[in-house]
Structure 1
Amino acid sequence: MDFFTFDKATVGHVLSVFMGFFAIMNPIANTPVFLGLTAGDDAATRRRIALQALLAAFLIILVFSLLGSVIFDLFGITLPAFRIMGGVLVALIGYQMLHSSPSAVHQPSDADMAASRSAALSVAISPLALPILAGPGTIATAMSFAAAGGTAELAITIGAFALLCAITYAFFVFGEGLTRFLGQSGVNVITRIMGLILAVIGVQMLVDGLKGAFPVLG
């Protein structure tokens, strides 16, 4: 993709990357999780926790986006192989979201939850930044998008995730009103819609990986 090309296809690709991140990070469904983890904290502390968590998540995705090719070379991983495994992982997370069940690879364990409550600000790193916001599925999605092309793909991937982090911060800070408005049933509906989108993105990643590994399928 030409870095300076800004046509319909480019806009569609940018939206696809953004929606992929939005579906897997799902700020609407994660807002009640954030509110639960910060229950009892004042507004200033909540804003600080939200900011630290999202900065940490952004740095994690930034590192994996920038060093994706280095990691591939270091471990002898090919892009098609990563897309196949990443596609399976992302599709499974989406499938579980479709059934309104939390993903085991994208949710904090009971031990994480218990440990995080011991210190308010520790919640920002674990379990919020990792694994809720920048879990394996998010990392796999970022590396797949960033490794698909040159500078343009990298810029789109990082830019889309940065925008989503800003949107997620707003959801977290003003989340109480949103969750009251939607109710649990509304949150569940949105989670299932995001799960469907995520499952489709995962299958597309899998298809692209198979085509790369077996050119005869193309």
Structure 2
Amino acid sequence: MQLDFKEIFTAFMILFAVIDIIGNIPIVIDLRKKFGHIESGKASIIAGIILIIFLFIGQNILSLIGIDINSFAVAGAFILFFIAIEMTLGITLYKNDESSSMTATVFPLAFPLIAGPGSLTTLLSLRAEYAVENIIVAVLMNVVVIFIVLKTSSKIERFLGPSGINIIRKIFGVILLAIAVKLFAANIKTLFELV
């Protein structure tokens, strides 16, 4: 096993940009308000496990159940779209009957927000270019960053204040909406080409 620091750094930066945990702070704060408590450590670990498992068996799982990567990405685009609508319009579409913080820790925080279709499809394309061990190190580095951001999200909220959070929430809602549209457009085009 030979670790290549250039590969690790590149894979880390690509995943960091796709996961966009800094941009997801308003969503994390919103989930904390809805459910009271989010388990940062658990959310980070679950997201890390999903990412690493998908790195090894993602393509096989999707092929086994007859879903191609493009259909998977389109489904993820819909989820991102509805989260973005909630953020920009200030409405609630996702209601949790149990009001459980554990449920919120796993869904929608660990999946699909952190380990979402964007990061999962990115992993499959990274695997084609980089050594698996370097990608794993990059994933673990991202998990550490995610944990730090999730753990300090309340401090960030206090620093920004309610109006600051509201402004950032709407800005990132629009950005998330754009990402959802881009993800949808890129993959729906490929799906129509396959038909």
**TM-score higher than 0.5 here?**
yes
List aligned pairs for 1:27-176, cutoff 5 A: 27-31=25-29, 33-34=31-32, 37-38=36-37, 49-102=39-92, 104=94, 109-111=96-98, 113=99, 116=100, 123=101, 125-128=102-105, 130-136=106-112, 138-148=115-125, 150-152=128-130, 162-176=140-154
Match of 1:22 in 2: 20
Deviation, 1:103, is 5.2
Distance in 2 between residues matched to 1:133 and 1:153, nearest whole Å: 28
Q: Deviations over 1:97-123 (max 9, x none)?
A: 22233552xxx7130x2xx4xxxxxx5
Name 1:214's counterpart in structure 2. 192
The Cα RMSD (Å) is 3.8
Aligned to 1:184: 162
Any stretches of 5+ residues in structure 1 without a counterpart?
Answer: 39-45, 117-122
- Tell me the matched-pair count: 188
Q: Check the 8 A contact 1:100/1:188 in 2, yes or no.
A: no
Task: Compare 191-200 and 26-35 and name the one that shifted more.
Answer: 26-35
Identity of aligned residues (%): 21
3-state SS in 2 of match to 1:109: coil
Q: TM-score, normalised by structure 1?
A: 0.65
**Under a length normalisation based on structure 2, what TM-score does the superposition of the two structures give?**
0.71
